[in-house]
Amino acid sequence: MSSTAPPFAQPRIESSAKRVRVLFGGKYVVDTKQAKLVWETPFYPTYFFPTSVLDPSFLRESSDHKPEPGLKIYDLVVGDHKARSAVTEFTGQDSDTKDLAGLLKIGFSAANTWLEEDERIYVHPKDPYKRVDVLQSSRQVRVALHGVELALTNRPRLLFETGLRVRTYMPLTDVRVDLLMPSDTTTECPYKGLANYFHVQLPNGDIHRDIVWYYRTPQPECGQMTGYLAFYDEKVDVWVDGEKQA
């Protein structure tokens, strides 16, 4: 674990300086300053905790899982509230997870609320090595699909997110909104917020699903994206300053 910057070998374990609280069933089942950030994959960290910070009275051995070396799986139980198989304890008896011995994790979606200090977090902890910047640009960006122009703007806002391709957000007024159909699809990002989607229906009737998205109320660090739409560049044709993008 000698690397000090991503990508890390897994698992990478770091102490967190933040107070972390986990709310479930009306109780803070975790309230600690001893949380660990663990990269089980290269993409984002997960909160792990020393086993001592979770009252064992909230745990019931899970009957939904076969025994696995080095792991104990528990239901999280508070009164009448139960999250099945929500807690994984690492015993150190398996060589692949020996570095996690004495720690446990709670499935992020199993809890009702996660707090860093007094701020709520979503989806997963934010990666301290990831940066998200939204920059105003004057590049001309044109988007088309099967020869039909979908958008044309000289005032895009560009989203630069560590490790991901640059995304172009365009003012609603520079997009062919008559071709957009609301979608029920949503996705969530800890850095940007909750995304809603549109389908595109071309004049010939063809529908291309979920290729446009927007953030109605983005997280504060991405607040400049309010009222802007983004297209999946991989699914449309894009020209930037007259040059077609690969």
Query: CA–CA separation, 222 vs 32, rounded Å?
Result: 29
pLDDT in tens, 52-72: 999 999 999 998 877 788 899
pLDDT of residue 228: 98
Based on the domain organization, do 25 and 113 belong to the same domain?
Answer: yes
Residue 1 has pLDDT above 50, yes or no: no
Residue 4 belongs to some domain of the structure = no
pLDDT of residue 2: 42
Residues spanned by the domain of 79: 12-121
Based on the domain organization, do 115 and 21 belong to the same domain?
Answer: yes
Based on the domain organization, do 18 and 106 belong to the same domain?
Answer: yes
Based on the domain organization, do 139 and 224 belong to the same domain?
Answer: yes
Among 4-8, 11-15, 161-165, 203-207, the least confident range = 4-8
pLDDT in tens, 207-232: 999 999 999 999 998 999 999 999 99
**Using 50, 70 and 90 to split pLDDT, how confident is the model at 94?**
confident
Residue 52 belongs to some domain of the structure = yes
Residue 153 has pLDDT above 60, yes or no: yes
Based on the domain organization, do 239 and 136 belong to the same domain?
Answer: yes
Mean local confidence (pLDDT), 228-241: 97
pLDDT of residue 239: 98
Based on the domain organization, do 90 and 46 belong to the same domain?
Answer: yes
**Using 50, 70 and 90 to split pLDDT, how confident is the model at 179?**
very high
pLDDT of residue 8: 63
pLDDT of residue 3: 53
Structure tokens at 41: 């994959």
Query: 193 burial class (0-12, 13-18, 19+ CB within 10 angstroms)?
Result: buried
Q: Are 144 and 237 in contact (CB under 8 A)?
A: yes
Residue 158 belongs to some domain of the structure = yes
pLDDT of residue 4: 58
Residue 149 belongs to some domain of the structure = yes
pTM: 0.84
| Of residues 96 and 2, more confidently modeled | 96
| Of residues 122 and 3, more confidently modeled | 122
pLDDT of residue 212: 98
Residue 143 belongs to some domain of the structure = yes
Q: Domain of 117: which CATH number? A: 2.170.150.40
Per DSSP, 202 falls in state -
Give me the sign of the Cα torsion angle 164, 170, 176, 180: positive
pLDDT of residue 231: 98
Based on the domain organization, do 152 and 69 belong to the same domain?
Answer: no
Residue 148 has pLDDT above 50, yes or no: yes
**Domain total for the chain?**
2
Q: pLDDT averaged over the chain?
A: 93
170 residue type, one letter: M
Based on the domain organization, do 158 and 105 belong to the same domain?
Answer: no
**Which residue among 95, 121, 147 closes a domain?**
121
**Using 50, 70 and 90 to split pLDDT, how confident is the model at 95?**
confident
